[in-house]
Amino acid sequence: MVGLSVGEKHFIQGGIAQDLRSDGRKRLTYRPISVETGIIPQANGSARVKLGATDVIASVKAELGKPSPFQPDRGKVAIYVDCSPTAAPIFEGRGGEELSAELSAALQRSLLGGKSGTGAGIDLSSLSIVEGKICWDLYIDGLVVSSDGNLLDALGAAIKAALSNTGIPKVNVAASASSDEQPEVDISDEEYLQFDTSGVPVIVTLTKVGRHYIVDATSEEESQMSSALSVSINRLGRICGLTKRGGAGLDPSVILDMTSVAKHVSEQLLNNLESEISAAEACEEES
Amino acid sequence: MFCSTILTPHALIHLHLLPSLQAPAPRKILRTGAVNSASGSAYAEFGNTKVIVSVFGPRESKKAMMYSDVGRLNCNVSYTTFATPVRGQGSDSKEFSSILHKALEGAIILDSFPKTTVDVFALVLESGGSDLPVVISCASLALADAGIMMYDLVASVSVLKIGLGLPFGLGYAFQSLEARQFWIPEVSSVVHGVSGEEESYQDGSLMITCMHLLVMRITQLTITGEWSTPKIHEAMELCLDACSKLGKIMRLCLKETASASQE
């Protein structure tokens, strides 16, 4: 909870109405984004994304597992978010649980596509090793280290960065005699396959304050919101998932307007993020 | 029962593509007053999806809660163990609870019961697809039955998208009330056994909950899968139209209960 005086609230709302926010940004400008990759050696891929004072870490771990009987030719992906009490005292104990569940659900909706797996940012069929027998299970974990608003966008960006940093070991399958047996596999520790992340969408959250909406709200600005729309958009400009937060109702035309604005903003964000990711990866290789 | 069936050309084309999903016209039942001990309750049956919602309160908030000058809303969605073909495999009820809360809080006049809590408990008796929209609509009916002040009833509808490459018109199955014949259950359990076939048809879904009477207000919207903007536009229009029809039926249901109790 952000404790704000009446004057501060008016200042924030008035600034947004005049397209000049308290930190000098315009309504549709993001805070500077910084990306670090490969920060967790134990994980297959990891990244840390800072968006102003918001700081999140995403890690990707791959384990061998069994595909579900309904989708034998696909791997499985699980996304969980943890809100650490270090970020805010309210996350202590069970306080962060609700937010964690909400963020996890929103990320799953944005990245995993429909039930059939089409439209997913992560290509699940590339995780299959032996159809119906063995596949990779990807565990994507997000951690909120410091929270200053716009967690979802930051987590989305961190996951994208972590996935592009992910190397999945090459697996050699020994030719097994019978089809019933679990085939033997040999995991290579030298050869890694890179993950194709060009299809992974970015998430743009538009927060409605008064009659206007802003991107990348700080927690002060978020405390003044009536509702927020998180839209995930991929390279092709297609919408891959949408979540609404906040109880206040919105007019349908406003929602359509917001999605088209989100689409516009996403292009810049995507370019910005991708150049940051490649810079971070180049930096990692040097060291 | 209440409304005539409207056949849209989209749905008809679609039916030819998926003959196995041509379910017989499912029953739709909406009734208030299903539980006597609750302040208000409602039962909804849409096809195979059966849901019961009870509302308790406004009653004293738990002691640990801080003072609040607006009322609190507490929502909980749970599945019976026999709701799904595989025992105890209901959808994520935690997520459903949070969506239900978000869908309703914008419609309830929370200022009208300060310091107190209204509990909304939803139980999915049988999961036959499109569970969450049914739960939301049923819950708003139960709230009205409990006499909780609301700006409007909340109606909820979802559509599924089928086939990414197909033109829009071919690609839709309806989960809305007026076109129940064309529904494809979100959980494919209803169509004999769980075959991967039906499951794989769903490429995306869109769920809308909205209030309709005075001005159109969308209280909750979720989209999964990959969509282009015109498709979203069209799907939203479809849903909003269905929501307004469902809203009318819900009002009618309340009126019937009221007139029955007067007699």
Task: Identify the pLDDT of residue A119.
Answer: 64
| Residue A281 resides in a domain | yes
Residue B241 has pLDDT above 60, yes or no: yes
Arithmetic mean of pLDDT over chain B = 73
Test A105 with B203 for CB contact under 8 angstroms.
Answer: no
- What is the arithmetic mean of pLDDT over B186-207? 44
Test A70 with B199 for CB contact under 8 angstroms.
Answer: yes
| Residue A106 resides in a domain | yes
Both structure tokens of B7:
């056949």
Domain hosting residue A254, numbered range: 6-286
CA-to-CA dists, residue B88 to A168, B80, B124, B191, angstroms: 34, 7, 12, 19
Contacts of B105 in chain A (CB under 8 A): 247
- What is the arithmetic mean of pLDDT over B223-242? 83
Residue B78 has pLDDT above 70, yes or no: yes
Query: Which residue did the predictor score with more confidence, A193 or B168?
Result: A193
Per-residue pLDDT band at B231 (split at 50, 70, 90)? confident
Task: Identify the pLDDT of residue A99.
Answer: 87
Going along chain B from its start, the domains and CATH numbers come out as: 9-262 (3.30.230.70)
| Number of domains composing chain A | 1
Test B218 with A249 for CB contact under 8 angstroms.
Answer: yes
Bond preceding residue B58 cis, omega within 30 of 0:
yes
* DSSP per residue, chain B: --S-----HHHHHHHHH-GGG------EEEEE---SSSSEEEEEEETTEEEEEEEEEEEEPPTTSPP-SS-EEEEEEEE-TTSSSSTT----HHHHHHHHHHHHHTTB-GGGSTTEEEEEEEEEEE--S-HHHHHHHHHHHHHHHTT--BSS--EEEEEEEE-SSS-GGGGEEE-SGGGGGG---SSGGGSSS--HHHHHHEEEEEEEEEE-SSS-EEEEEEEEEEE-HHHHHHHHHHHHHHHHHHHHHHHHHHHHHHHHHH-
Interface test mutation site (partner A, options B226, B227, B241, B243, max chain A beta carbons within 10 A):
B226
| Residue A12 resides in a domain | yes
Test B203 with A118 for CB contact under 8 angstroms.
Answer: yes
**Chain B residues with CB-CB distance to A under 8 A?**
92, 94-95, 98, 102, 104-107, 161, 164, 186, 194, 196, 199-205, 210-211, 215-229, 232-233, 236, 240
Test A251 with B94 for CB contact under 8 angstroms.
Answer: no
| Residue A77 resides in a domain | yes
Test A244 with B202 for CB contact under 8 angstroms.
Answer: no
Across A29-43, A98-112, A265-279, B186-200, least confident range? B186-200
pTM above 0.80, yes or no: yes
Cα angle value A114/B93/B144 (rounded, 5°): 105
Per-residue pLDDT band at B85 (split at 50, 70, 90)? confident
Interface test mutation site (partner A, options B175, B223, B241, max chain A beta carbons within 10 A):
B223
Q: Is A66 on the interface with B (CB under 8 A)?
A: no
Arithmetic mean of pLDDT over chain A = 86
Query: Which residue did the predictor score with more confidence, A273 or B127?
Result: A273
Q: Is A260 on the interface with B (CB under 8 A)?
A: yes
- Residue A42 Cα, gap to closest chain B Cα (Å): 30
- pLDDT tens digits, one per residue of A143-160: 999 888 899 999 999 999
Sheet holding B49-60, edge to edge: B28-32, B40-46, B49-60, B116-126, B72-79
Task: Identify the pLDDT of residue B123.
Answer: 93
- What is the arithmetic mean of pLDDT over B106-126? 90
Nearest-CB residue to B194 (from A70, A227, A245):
A70
Per-residue pLDDT band at B18 (split at 50, 70, 90)? very low
Task: Identify the pLDDT of residue B12.
Answer: 32
Nearest-CB residue to B218 (from A238, A243, A255):
A255
| Residue A146 resides in a domain | yes
Task: Compute the half-sphere exposure of residue B141: CA atoms within 13 Å on the CB side of its CA.
Answer: 35
Test A244 with B204 for CB contact under 8 angstroms.
Answer: no
Buried residues in B113-127 as b, exposed as e (16+ CB within 10 A):
beebbbbbbbbbebb
| Residue A1 resides in a domain | no
Residue pair B210/B154 in contact (Cβ under 8 Å)? The answer is: yes
* Eight-state DSSP code of residue A84: -
Q: What is d(CA A225, CA A246) in angstroms, rounded to the nearest whole number?
A: 8
Query: Which residue did the predictor score with more confidence, B82 or A118?
Result: B82
* Eight-state DSSP code of residue A250: B
Nearest-CB residue to A241 (from B186, B203, B224):
B224
Q: What is the CATH number of the domain that holds A249?
A: 3.30.230.70
Owner of token pair 């909780």 = B148
Interface test mutation site (partner B, options A90, A116, A227, A234, max chain B beta carbons within 10 A):
A116
Task: Identify the pLDDT of residue A55.
Answer: 92
| Residue A258 resides in a domain | yes
Per-residue pLDDT band at B195 (split at 50, 70, 90)? very low
Task: Identify the pLDDT of residue A95.
Answer: 75
Nearest-CB residue to A252 (from B92, B218, B222):
B218
Q: Is A93 on the interface with B (CB under 8 A)?
A: no
Per-residue pLDDT band at B26 (split at 50, 70, 90)? low
Rama region for B47: left / alpha / beta (φ>0; ψ in -120 to 50; rest): left
Interface test mutation site (partner A, options B76, B97, B198, B224, max chain A beta carbons within 10 A):
B224
Task: Identify the pLDDT of residue A230.
Answer: 93
Q: How many CB atoms lie within 10 A of CB A10?
A: 12
- What is the arithmetic mean of pLDDT over A222-233? 90
- pLDDT tens digits, one per residue of A255-285: 999 999 999 999 999 999 999 988 988 888 7
